[in-house]
Structure 1
Amino acid sequence: MNAGNNEMDKASQAARSKSEVCVKAEQVGFSSRRLDVLRKAIQREVEEARIPGCVIAISRQGQTLFHEAFGYSDPVAKTKMTTDTLFSIASMTKPVVSLATLQLFEQGRLLLGDDVSDHLSELSDLRVGEVARHGTLITRPATRQPTVQDLLRHTSGLTYQNRGTTAVYQRYPGSSASAPNLLTTDEMLATLAECPLIFDPGTKWEYGFSTDVLGFIVERHSGQQLGDYLAENIFSPLGISDTSFELNQDDLGRYAKTFEKDPLTGSKPVVLHTDGQTKHWQAGGAGLVSTSSDYMAFAQLLLQGGGDGEAHVLGRKTIELMTSDHLGPEIDNRIADTMDPACDGYGFGLGVAVRRADGLAASAGTAGDFYWSGVYGTYFWVDPIEELAVVFMAACPGLMRLRYRQLTRALVYQAIND
């Protein structure tokens, strides 16, 4: 390793150490005693082998008051979790790529009402798939083509193969995690062009390849690989140094690993960056590795309205647009039905789910808070009313991850003391 790399490593370590300096909880309206309740509850989860370990970071009023690691980053080797542990964040990549898309919007390179085909001509004249009697797949013209806004709010009609069992779903090339193993960018776009939409754009909410398509749009406009664009335009201004699409060999020692068997099903978990397969493109829907500190910097950006000075990444009004609900009454909102039953009462903005009321949802929170999560167990939310940002990082794929979304919210909110 050369001297330059040594200096970079020292700077990275210093940045991580600095991020772990926390203010006294009472200075920002939290109770130290109630934070002990959080600690004991999470430690109990580790001791009962529901979760290998986790890292939780809490910030209020722009200051970190809690940043602690629990359990193990490697439950087999009994390697202690640390606050700079790396995690595969899966779909928590999506808000980052959504923000990158909105940078292009601010630059006048695209409009939210543009057809997707205005920016990716390969995706022209997409058709809607329907299953006729006896399971036969037929297609028809869509009432309109999907727009950039549809991609951002997941109303494009694109889906993942594992989201259903009909012939329409089976035409899709897996998911954001698996498709880069199978197809090049050109092959992926050609495949999506032949995939039938599962509904007319703008009529329903459905998870799928929408954010991967946004990633292709960012690459097409910038002339850069997605990771290079994110590094230059988002990560570097925010001081984010440990987030990328690659898990380097030198970082394997601080990468969070799962249990050998899922605690609920007994099956062997598979996580994106440990599958050993070559990625042909960088998935805007699932591909990043990150740390709690790095993702907290991103969450703080959203909370504080886009940053300022050299750290200005997006305008305040665009952040407000991003974190507002974009699912009108005419759109079938299927977030709680198909993603997380505890999130009834959430709509969806431009890359994040947005809470519509204090009640309805089984999860604690405040009207206007927004969140997203990753299938491997990571989660974050921002509560503008409470000036609160929380990042939860764990390697717990499977349905167990849903438990920690509710539990972490309950434990954090009970500790507020003002």
Structure 2
Amino acid sequence: MMKMTSTGGLSKARLGRMHDVLAGHVEAGELPGLVTLVSRHGEIHVDAIGNAAIGGAPMARDTIFRITSMTKPVTAVAAMILVEECKIRLDDAVDRWLPELADRKVLRTIDAAIDDTVPAKRAITLRDLLTFRLGYGMIAIFPDRYPIQTAIAEAGFAPGPVFPSFPPDELVRRYGSLPLIHQPGERWLYNSGTEILSVLIARVAGTTLGDFFRERIFDPLGMKDTAFSVPESKYDRFATSYARDHATQKLKVFDDPVTGKFSSPPVFENGSAGLVSTADDFNAFAQMMLNGGRLGSEHILSRPSVELMTADQITPEQKLGSELLLGDNRGWGFGMSVSTRRDDLHNSPGRFGWDGGYGTSWYSDPNENLTGILLTQRMMDSPQPPRVMADFWTSAYQAIDD
């Protein structure tokens, strides 16, 4: 199914080329199906290709997907709502709300024994959580080499497609049992910041993360299918998640819509990777960001907050060791990446967004007034974008018609 509206500076012929290229990936059996959305100057092009499951119903515009790490920018927006209300400040120590993380110890060196530590030079702040400079996170060295990597895995935070499922208080307690890998503010480390931020937001707001998201972001933006789980009434619109079986090289079910982890409310509402959404729902969020915090009559954030969130916040020294995820052409704002130089068709400076490890991608480009969203449920095999993702972004930018 391909639905076009007026193309708003996008070439219809070149959008047709995009359809053909992406359909080729489905026909080759790389994934059962996908949904794409490209928006420019307020006009929207949506394409649904293939099936929501192997041998299942066709993909549709309102198919629901696990968006995993595309959750991170939503969590960052929630935090900035609280900042704008002066309930917490960017450079406030988190100790008041997260006493489990007070008085941190820091590894003397990254290869040190777990108890070979020095005191933290300062407390962890909200800014540290948003910029992933808190001292906790993924060490991008595989297989594990250091004692801290073993300790992280034993605590239940090993990198991979299975996310923590502890109650919020237990999650923070487990983080508190670990030393920091680096001093607060010293180095960018992936993922842990928004996991811990999930608990911080709920405690500061005095409600659950899911309720705060719904009341302050989802309901105002009309994101009716975005949540931390899928109710039974929507199972028929929920795509199956697949991973590649390395032994057979064939796709195998990773998460089933009816019996899987997203089919009932989770123990931990994970602000790093826990949301499900649709193309139109997430486009509402993306347009709000592109419009400086507004969508129609709804005012989620101020323009200065969005500008702060989408500006690169990390120095080259803080970025050391993160090249696997950020390369040499992206930095990090609050909860999302920010492109810093143009070295590809689609990598325009100022472009912001992030990918999801289960096969999703969102970026918005203020210079082009362009938003692209790719939704699949074919798990990524590495931090490097799969071919279908690379081809989607090439196709989206080659379709610009002015």
Q: Same fold by TM (over 0.5)?
A: yes
SS of the residue 1:37 aligns to: helix
Structure-2 residue corresponding to 1:123: 101
Secondary structure in 1 matching 2:269: coil
- In structure 1, distance between residues paired with 2:252 and 2:271: 25
1:252 to 2:246 alignment: no
* RMSD of equivalent CA atoms: 2.6
Amino acid at match of 2:178: C
Give the superposition deviation at 1:332. 2.7
Opposite residue 345 of structure 1, the aligned amino acid is: N
Aligned equivalents of 1:92, 1:52: Cα separation in 2? 21
**Corresponding position of 1:407:** 391
2:12 is matched with 32
Q: Kindly indicate whether residue 57 of structure 2 is the aligned counterpart of residue 87 of structure 1.
A: no
Q: 1:352 aligned to 2:336?
A: yes
- Report what 1:280 is aligned to: 267
Count residues in correspondence.
389
Percent of pairs with identical residues:
32
Distance of 2:342 and 2:396 partners within structure 1? 16
Quote the Cα distance in structure 1 between the aligned partners of 2:190 and 2:375. 22
Q: Does residue 416 in structure 1 map to residue 396 in structure 2? A: no
The Cα offsets for residues 193-235 of structure 1, whole Å up to 9 and x where unpaired, read as: 1111111122211113210211111111211111111000001
Answer yes or no: is the 8 Å Cα contact 2:36–2:279 preserved in 1. yes
- Tell me how far apart the structure 1 counterparts of residues 252 and 117 of structure 2 sit (CA, whole Å): 38
Structure 2, unaligned runs of 5 or more: none
The answer for the alignment partner of 2:325 in structure 1 is 339
Task: Check conservation: 1:238, 1:311, Cα contact below 8 A.
Answer: yes
Cα separation, 1, equivalents of 2:110 and 2:129: 27
TM-score normalised according to structure 1 size: 0.86
Number of the residue aligned with 2:303? 316
2:34 is the alignment partner of 1:50: no
Map 1:140-159 → 2, pairs under 5 A: 140-159=118-137
CA 1:251–1:35 in structure 2 vs 1: closer, same or farther (change >3 Å)? Answer: same
**1:201 aligns to 2:184 (yes or no):** yes
Secondary structure of 1:74's partner?
coil
Alpha carbons of 1:149 and 1:388: their partners in 2 closer, same or farther (altered >3 Å)? same
Tell me: CA distance 1:293–1:127, structure 2 relative to 1, closer, same or farther (3 Å): same
SS in 2 for 1:149: helix
Q: C-alpha displacement at 1:144, in angstroms?
A: 2.4
2:374 to 377, 392, 400: 392
Amino acid paired to 2:391: L
1:365 is aligned to: 347
Residue 34 of structure 2 aligns to a residue whose secondary structure is: strand
Query: Following the alignment from structure 1 to structure 2, what is the Cα–Cα distance between the partners of residues 45 and 308?
Result: 34
Is 1:59 aligned to 2:59, yes or no?
no
Contact 1:162 1:175 in 2 (8 A): no
**Aligned partners of 1:204 and 1:332 also within 8 Å:** yes
Mapping of residues 161-172 of structure 1, within 5 Å: 165=144, 166-172=146-152
Cα deviation 1:146-180 (Å, max 9, x = unaligned): 21111111111111488662221222322597454
The separation in 1 between residues aligned to 2:29 and 2:283, in whole angstroms, is 27
Aligned 8 A contact 1:204 1:333 in 2? yes
**1:186 has 2:173 as partner:** no
Gaps of 5+ in 1: 1-19
Q: How far has the Cα of 1:365 moved from its partner?
A: 2.5
Partner of 2:199: 216
Contact 2:47 2:61 in 1 (8 A): yes
SS in 2 for 1:54: strand
Larger helix share, 1 or 2:
1
After TM superposition, the score normalised by the length of structure 2 is 0.89
- Residue identity opposite 2:191 in structure 1: G
User: Is it true that 1:235 corresponds to 2:226 in the alignment?
Assistant: no
Change in 2 beyond 3 A, CA 1:29/1:310:
closer
> Residue 85 of structure 2 aligns to which amino acid in structure 1?
Q
Provide the rounded CA distance (Å) in 1 between the counterparts of 2:389 and 2:29.
17
Letter in 2 for 1:67: V
CA contact (8 A) 2:114 2:148 kept: no
Using the alignment, how far apart are the partners of 2:119 and 2:300 within structure 1? Answer: 39
Counterpart of 2:361? Answer: 379
1:267 to partner: Cα distance: 7.4
Contact persistence 1:307–1:313 (CA under 8 A): yes
Q: How far does residue 406 in structure 1 lie from its aligned partner after superposition?
A: 1.9
SS at match of 2:51: strand
Contact 2:112 2:147 in 1 (8 A): no
